[in-house]
Amino acid sequence: MNSTHRDVDTDVVIVGGGPAGLSAALSLGRARRQVLVVDQARPRNRTALHMHGVLGHDGLPPLELLEKGRREIAAYGVRVVVGDAVSARADEEGVEVTTDAGTIRARHLIVATGLTDELPEIPGLREQWGTGAVVCPYCDGWEHRHHVIGVVATSAQSVGQAQLLRQWSDRVVYFPNVVGEPDAAEADALARRGIRVERGAVESLVTSNDRLEGIRLAQRTVPVDVVFTGPTLRPNDALLRSLGARAADGPAGSWIDADRDGRTSLPRVWAVGNVVDPRANVSVSLGLGSLTAGAVNAELVQEDITRAPAVGTSPLASGTAL
Ligand SMILES: Cc1cc2nc3c(=O)[nH]c(=O)nc-3n(C[C@H](O)[C@H](O)[C@H](O)COP(=O)(O)OP(=O)(O)OC[C@H]3O[C@@H](n4cnc5c(N)ncnc54)[C@H](O)[C@@H]3O)c2cc1C
């Protein structure tokens, strides 16, 4: 990756070089499109030591996947620059993205900027994020099978997270924290599956030499091997919102609307991965990136047809001697 670019014109500019953006870049590069990726290089899972559930790459460090991806797309002439896309404009003619290093004009824009995990304000949790404190049972449950799993509640959905984790261990401890007591049905379901409830506000995570040891409540420390919790998911969608892309309200808040191909409500503006889909894990982000690339390329082909000169105007068709 390099960190500078002059003002450039390209077929497609992709903002965000995580799994979704790089996957789109790979397909578009292989389709012989000119592509520039602008990336702050702060992928969501950057603090995790290993990535799981990605076929063919199970256990690979997540940053290695991206490094490998950048090498692969470079072979097709795709450039990746480190930078921050700060604003954008889009109309029927094209798009323009302003970064901290210059301006990029392109025929289409793909936004693949991911999301930000807003962590609960618990001292020690941020330092453990991605190692001793995690979010996704399918990403990290297997590594903690049979361990003591603490589930720190952040919302009404946290009881469900505890029940899900029971699949991996019969030593799950549920901390309602400040969310409130489980209701009678939930308490009964927790008890039936042997999930212990530890009441009281969580004061901090207790660690020794950076290793998680337990969860500190007012009067005591409960030993746990790992903490699962549910951060608030905030899409990194400032660019899309500044462009006026349509959003929809759902149970997880307001998210920009994009169809399965990544098409937003705006012409020439596409969005893919966690920025529009909180469920897009690495595999899904890779898959959707390739779908979006196909849809963008199809539109480029249509434009190429429209722009091509009519056959009757070519010298051969008009019978002009060569
Ligand atoms: C701790 C943790 C562990 C995880 N483990 C797994 C796992 O084991 N397996 C799995 O499948 N999933 C895992 N995930 C989920 C995984 O991180 C996401 O599914 C994946 O990162 C989504 O890819 P993305 O390309 O949409 O976004 P990201 O990977 O977050 O990439 C977005 C990129 O866009 C850049 N960006 C943002 N704004 C701008 C801007 N304005 N200008 C330029 N660049 C910008 C960011 O810096 C980043 O590089 C984990 C998540 C967490 C939090």
Residue 41 Cβ contacting ligand 1 at under 6 Å: yes
Q: How much is the mean pLDDT over the chain? A: 95
| Cα dihedral across residues 59, 283, 124, 217: positive or negative | negative
For ligand 1, atom 41, name the residue with the nearest CA. 85
Euclidean distance between CA atoms 168 and 162, whole angstroms: 10
**Would residue 130 be called left, alpha or beta, if left means φ above 0 and alpha means ψ between -120 and 50 degrees?**
left
Q: Indicate whether 3 pLDDT > 60.
A: no
Among 195, 197, 139, 138, smallest CA distance to 166 is for: 195
CB 159 within 8 A of CB 175: no
**Per-residue pLDDT, 252:** 85
Atom of ligand 1 nearest to the CA of 139: 8
CB 104 within 8 A of CB 96: yes
Among 2, 89, 75, smallest CA distance to 37 is for: 2
CB burial readout 28-53, b (16+ within 10 A) else e: bbebebbbbbbbbbebbbebbebbbb
For the stretch 174-192, pLDDT in tens is: 999 999 999 999 999 999 9
For ligand 1, atom 53, name the residue with the nearest CA. 45
Strand, helix or coil at 250? strand
For the stretch 9-24, pLDDT in tens is: 999 999 999 999 999 9
Q: Using 50, 70 and 90 to split pLDDT, how confident is the model at 320?
A: very low
**Would residue 66 be called left, alpha or beta, if left means φ above 0 and alpha means ψ between -120 and 50 degrees?**
alpha
Contacts with 174 (C-beta within 8 Å, 6 or more apart), sequence order: 151, 153, 158, 159, 162, 182, 190, 195, 196, 197, 198
Q: Using 50, 70 and 90 to split pLDDT, how confident is the model at 316?
A: low
Residue 271 Cβ contacting ligand 1 at under 6 Å: no
**Per-residue pLDDT, 251:** 84
CA distances from 13 to 22, 25, 105, 199, 303 (A): 11, 9, 8, 50, 17
Q: Using 50, 70 and 90 to split pLDDT, how confident is the model at 312?
A: confident
Residue 81 Cβ contacting ligand 1 at under 6 Å: no
pTM: 0.94
Helix (H) or strand (E) holding 28: helix 19-30
**Per-residue pLDDT, 319:** 46
CA of 312 to the centre of ligand 1 (A): 50
Residue 99 Cβ contacting ligand 1 at under 6 Å: no
In this structure, what token pair is assigned to residue 141?
């449950």
Q: How many CB atoms are closer than 10 A to CB 312?
A: 7
Q: Using 50, 70 and 90 to split pLDDT, how confident is the model at 6?
A: low
For the stretch 37-96, pLDDT in tens is: 999 999 999 999 999 999 999 999 999 999 999 999 999 999 999 999 999 999 999 999
Residue 134 Cβ contacting ligand 1 at under 6 Å: yes
Atom of ligand 1 nearest to the CA of 84: 42
Q: Name the phi and psi angles at 43, rounded to 5.
A: -65, 155
Domains along the chain with CATH numbers: 8-117+232-307 (3.50.50.60), 120-229 (3.50.50.60)
Residue 132 Cβ contacting ligand 1 at under 6 Å: no
**Per-residue pLDDT, 322:** 44
Q: Using 50, 70 and 90 to split pLDDT, how confident is the model at 321?
A: very low
Mutate to test the pocket of ligand 1, among 1, 26, 37, 45 (most ligand atoms within 8 A of CB): 45
For the stretch 229-285, pLDDT in tens is: 999 999 999 999 999 999 999 888 999 999 999 999 999 999 999 999 999 999 999
Q: Using 50, 70 and 90 to split pLDDT, how confident is the model at 317?
A: low
**Per-residue pLDDT, 58:** 98
In this structure, what token pair is assigned to residue 28?
């578009």
**Per-residue pLDDT, 101:** 84
Atom of ligand 1 nearest to the CA of 51: 8
CB 202 within 8 A of CB 217: yes
Residue 128 Cβ contacting ligand 1 at under 6 Å: no
For the stretch 198-230, pLDDT in tens is: 999 999 999 999 999 999 999 899 999 999 999
Q: Indicate whether 151 pLDDT > 50.
A: yes
**Per-residue pLDDT, 314:** 58
